[in-house]
């Protein structure tokens, strides 16, 4: 006899989120799209030790940012009220998962590791995402839109700073930039609220702390 279906309890959801967090932090996931760097046959020129160090630091920052994005989307989708918004957030998180995997693959190619603080970035971003969702869907979307706009500016700066001959890293960052801009526009189309300036400044400060630490550790 088939057992009757029951809705997941808060305990079920909590266990599910813990499992998802552990998978994101410690396990490699399968990407849903082709690795952008695979379109670049090889490095056009051998990277010097300094260029490799610079590229690895920037890609480690991007990996940490995508780790935070995964947690942010999970926290937001858990507390969002509109089921359609939950679906949109979960779809966006799949693209963010691709970014996470691409950055990890590039770090492997450069012979480097992710940030040791990734569990901290994940936990903090998950809590922020939940808080944004609790504030209401318009504020939830507003937080998402502002986050993605800041990420796009951040990726633009990386494109300016990456070694000119690091075509593989550039291919990854370019595709990430396209996706992040799309997420910001989606949030605005769905009715995102414009966040107060002090909150935007606090988000920038938090991002600066994370990127400064992740680039080195």
Short-list 176, 174, 170, 167, CA closest to 40: 167
What is the tens place of the pLDDT at every residue in 148-161?
899 999 999 999 99
Rounded Cα gap, residues 217 and 209, in angstroms: 12
110 against 76, higher pLDDT: 110
Q: Residue 196 maps to which CATH number?
A: 1.20.1260.10
Q: Which range marks the domain in which residue 70 is found?
A: 48-216
- Which of 22-26, 43-47, 144-148, 160-164 shows the lowest per-residue confidence on average (mean pLDDT)? 22-26
Q: How many domains in the chain? A: 1
Which are the contacts of 26, defined by CB distance < 8 A and separation ≥ 6?
none
Rounded Cα gap, residues 17 and 78, in angstroms: 9
Q: Give a yes or no: residue 26 inside a domain.
A: no
């Amino acid at each position: 006899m088939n057992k009757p279906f029951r809705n997941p309890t808060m305990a079920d959801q909590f266990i599910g989120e813990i499992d998802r967090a552990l998978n994101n932090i410690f396990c490699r996931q399968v990407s849903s799209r082709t690795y952008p760097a695979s379109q670049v046959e090889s490095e056009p020129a051998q990277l010097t030790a300094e260029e490799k160090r610079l590229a690895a630091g920037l890609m480690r920052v991007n990996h940490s940012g995508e780790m935070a994005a995964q947690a942010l989307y999970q926290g937001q989708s858990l507390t969002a009220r509109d089921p359609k918004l939950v679906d949109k957030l979960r779809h966006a998180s799949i693209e963010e998962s691709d970014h996470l995997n691409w950055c990890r693959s590039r770090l492997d190619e450069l012979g480097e590791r992710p940030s040791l603080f990734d569990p901290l970035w994940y936990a903090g971003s998950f809590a922020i995402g939940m808080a944004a969702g609790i504030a209401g869907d318009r504020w939830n979307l507003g937080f998402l839109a502002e986050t993605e706009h800041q990420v796009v500016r951040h990726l633009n700066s990386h494109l300016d700073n990456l070694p000119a001959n690091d075509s593989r890293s550039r291919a990854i960052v370019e595709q990430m930039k396209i996706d992040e801009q799309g997420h910001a526009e989606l949030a605005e189309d769905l009715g995102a609220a414009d966040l107060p300036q002090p909150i935007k400044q606090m988000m920038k400060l938090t991002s600066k702390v994370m990127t400064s630490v992740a680039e080195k550790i």
